[in-house]
Amino acid sequence: DAGVIQSPRHEVTEMGQEVTLRCKPISGHDYLFWYRQTMMRGLELLIYFNNNVPIDDSGMPEDRFSAKMPNASFSTLKIQPSEPRDSAVYFCASSQGQGSYEQYFGPGTRLTVT
Amino acid sequence: RKEVEQDPGPFNVPEGATVAFNCTYSNSASQSFFWYRQDCRKEPKLLMSVYSSGNEDGRFTAQLNRASQYISLLIRDSKLSDSATYLCVVAWGTLTFGKGTMLLVSP
């Protein structure tokens, strides 16, 4: 298996632009997680899905952030409009089965908003 | 109060040294505990789970003290390849990550 796939790996954009991050989980995994990592705050859970359904989005910082999972093999995290404070590494992770805490992370998207 | 606290380090040790990391957590209802490893500019990866009885995986030993809400990781005979950031992770529904402790092993 190729593991969790994320694209793009790097994104540089100007403040106010829309940013879309993409994730393909490991086939057969029914949980998908979006995290954000910064030096100041560490790794924070933004939202997670179970069987394509959003379960907890309490970590989404504000209405500028939205996430979707239209099918079992694809998810997006969108920021509109982007702000410099959104600059971070965004990781997608997936896991299998209820109670499984071993999460497999993608390589991350390094976002810079100028 | 931070949910999972770790000394950020860095811990600078020579090859062959023994090094220990500690972590405290605030949620007494936490169910499961883990150490993840994150190499520079890479994604986190599961290193090992932590059990109440303590567990060992080669040169790595993890301990959990539920009464004190304290988790530890001991690395014996450090290798250059052990250089990374070690994330303490606590689970209660979802995973809560500490900010990590950086380890630098030098020749």
pLDDT along chain B (107 residues), means of 10: 86 97 91 94 95 91 94 97 97 91 97
In chain A, the DSSP E strands lie at 5-7, 10-13, 19-24, 31-38, 42-50, 53-56, 65-71, 74-79, 88-95, 104-105, 109-113
Q: Please list every residue in chain B whose beta carbon sits closer than 8 Å to the beta carbon of residue A43.
A: 44, 87, 97, 99
For residue B85, which of B34, B13, B10, B17 has the smallest C-alpha distance? Answer: B10
CB atoms within 10 A of CB B48: 18
Q: How far apart are CA B18 and CA A109, in angstroms?
A: 34
pLDDT at A98 over 80: no
Which residues of chain A lie closer than 8 angstroms to B42, CB-CB?
107
The mean pLDDT of A61-82, rounded to a whole number, is 96
Minimum distance, in Å, between the CA of residue A108 and any CA atom of chain B: 7
Q: List the single residue in B42, B91, B100 with the smallest CB-CB distance to A101.
A: B91
What is the arithmetic mean of pLDDT over A1-25? 95
The reported pLDDT for the residue numbered A99 is 63
Structure tokens at A54: 């959003």
**A20-60: pLDDT as tens digits:** 999 999 999 999 999 999 999 999 999 999 999 999 999 99
